[in-house]
Chain A
Amino acid sequence: MNERVVVENTKVVADERAPRASLLWLVAPFVVLAAALWWLVAADPLAGFNNGAPPVENLTVERTILDQDGLRLLVRGGGSEAMHIAQVQVDAAYWQFEQTPPGPIERAGTAWISVPFPWVLGEAHNVTLVTNTGATFEHEIPVAIATPVATSGALASQALLGAFVGILPVAIGLMFYPALRGAGPWMMSFLLAMTIGLLGFLLIDTIEEALEFAAASAPLFQGSAMVILAAAAAFLILMAISRRERRPSGLALATYIALGIGLHNLGEGLAIGAAFAAGAAGLGTFLVMGFTLHNITEGIAIAAPILKTRPPLSRFAALALLAGGPAVLGIWLGSLAYAPHWSALALAIGAGAILQVIVEVSAALTRANEERLAGLLTTPVLAGAGSGVAFMYLTAMLVKI
Chain B
Amino acid sequence: MRRWLPSLVSRRGFLGAGLVATAGAAVTARETLGQSGMPQRHAGHGGYDPAGGGTPATPNHATAHGAMITVGDVDNARNGFDPTAMLTDWYTGEVSMLPDGRRLRTFEVTAEDKEIEIAPGVMFPAWTFNGRVPGPALRATEGDRLRIVFKNYGSHPHSMHFHGIHAARMDGVPRAGVVQPGEEFVYEFDAKPFGCHLYHCHALPLARHIHKGMYGIFVIDPDPEKRPEFADVARSRLFGTPENAEWQELAMVMNAFDTNFDGENEFYACNTIAHCYAKQPIKVVRNRPVRIYLINMTEFDPINSFHLHANFFDYFDQGTTLTPTLRTVDLITQCQAQRGIIEFNFADEDHEPGLYMFHAHQSEFTELGWMGMFDVVEAVS
Interface residue? B53 (CB, 8 A): yes
Interface residue? B193 (CB, 8 A): no
A149–B33 CB distance below 8 A: yes
A274–B2 CB distance below 8 A: yes
Interchain residue pairs A-B with the least CB separation, the first 9: A134-B259, A86-B121, A93-B367, A157-B25, A271-B1, A116-B62, A118-B42, A285-B19, A68-B48
Interface residue? B175 (CB, 8 A): no
Interface residue? A209 (CB, 8 A): yes
- On chain A, the residues within 8 Å of B71 by CB distance are 87-88, 94, 96-97
Do A160 and B25 form a contact, CB below 8 Å, given A130-B259, A213-B2? yes
Closest beta carbon of chain B to A172's beta carbon, Å:
15
Query: Which of B20, B38, B62, B68 sits near A146, CB closer than 8 Å?
Result: B38
For window 186-231 of B, CB contacts with A under 8 Å fall at: none
- On chain B, the residues within 8 Å of A86 by CB distance are 72, 119-122
- On chain B, the residues within 8 Å of A55 by CB distance are none
How far apart are the CA atoms of A40 and B63 in the complex, in Å? 49
B21–A161 CB distance below 8 A: yes
Interface residue? B287 (CB, 8 A): no
B8–A94 CB distance below 8 A: no
B4–A400 CB distance below 8 A: yes
- On chain B, the residues within 8 Å of A401 by CB distance are 4, 7-8, 11
Interface residue? A62 (CB, 8 A): no
- On chain B, the residues within 8 Å of A220 by CB distance are none
A94–B367 CB distance below 8 A: yes
A sample of 6 cross-chain residue pairs with beta-carbon separation below 8 angstroms, ordered by A number, consists of A86-B119, A97-B71, A134-B122, A146-B38, A151-B54, A268-B1
Do A283 and B15 form a contact, CB below 8 Å, given A96-B62, A274-B5, A399-B1? yes
B260–A285 CB distance below 8 A: no
Do A284 and B35 form a contact, CB below 8 Å, given A86-B121, A96-B62, A96-B71? no
B63–A69 CB distance below 8 A: yes
Interface residues of B (CB under 8 A from A): 1-9, 11-12, 14-26, 28-30, 32-35, 38-39, 41-43, 45, 47-48, 53-55, 57, 60, 62-65, 67-72, 118-124, 257, 259-260, 262, 266, 274-275, 364, 367-369
Query: Which of A96, A120, A279, A284 sits near B39, CB closer than 8 Å?
Result: A120
Interface residue? A30 (CB, 8 A): no
Closest beta carbon of chain A to B45's beta carbon, Å:
8
A94–B259 CB distance below 8 A: no
B26–A283 CB distance below 8 A: yes
Query: Which of B60, B119, B124, B368 sits near A69, CB closer than 8 Å?
Result: B60
A278–B68 CB distance below 8 A: no
Closest beta carbon of chain A to B50's beta carbon, Å:
9
Q: Which A residue sits closest to B70, measured CB to CB?
A: A94
- On chain B, the residues within 8 Å of A177 by CB distance are none
Interface residue? A148 (CB, 8 A): yes
A275–B25 CB distance below 8 A: no
B38–A121 CB distance below 8 A: yes
Do A132 and B123 form a contact, CB below 8 Å, given A94-B70, A285-B22, A400-B4? yes
- On chain B, the residues within 8 Å of A400 by CB distance are 1, 3-4
Please encode chain A, from 61 to 72, with 1 for each CB lying within 8 Å of some chain B CB and 0 for all others. Answer: 000000111100
Q: Which A residue sits closest to B59, measured CB to CB?
A: A68
A157–B34 CB distance below 8 A: no
- On chain B, the residues within 8 Å of A131 by CB distance are 122
- On chain B, the residues within 8 Å of A89 by CB distance are 266, 368
- On chain B, the residues within 8 Å of A160 by CB distance are 21-22, 25
Please choose the segment from A15-23, A41-49, A135-143 that sits at the chain B interface, where 4 or more of its residues have CB less than 8 A away.
A135-143
- On chain A, the residues within 8 Å of B29 by CB distance are 148, 153-154, 157-158, 276, 281
- On chain B, the residues within 8 Å of A285 by CB distance are 17-20, 22-23
A283–B19 CB distance below 8 A: yes
Do A146 and B120 form a contact, CB below 8 Å, given A94-B275, A95-B67, A130-B259? no
B17–A286 CB distance below 8 A: yes
How far apart are the CA atoms of A154 and B25 in the complex, in Å? 8
Q: Which B residue sits closest to A162, measured CB to CB?
A: B25
- On chain A, the residues within 8 Å of B26 by CB distance are 157, 281-283
- On chain A, the residues within 8 Å of B274 by CB distance are 94
How far apart are the CA atoms of A275 and B122 in the complex, in Å? 35
Do A288 and B19 form a contact, CB below 8 Å, given A86-B120, A94-B368, A148-B29? yes
Interface residue? A374 (CB, 8 A): no
Q: Which A residue sits closest to B33, measured CB to CB?
A: A146
- On chain B, the residues within 8 Å of A213 by CB distance are 2
Q: Which B residue sits closest to A347, measured CB to CB?
A: B1
Q: Which B residue sits closest to A135, measured CB to CB?
A: B260
How far apart are the CA atoms of A91 and B274 in the complex, in Å? 17
- On chain A, the residues within 8 Å of B43 by CB distance are 118
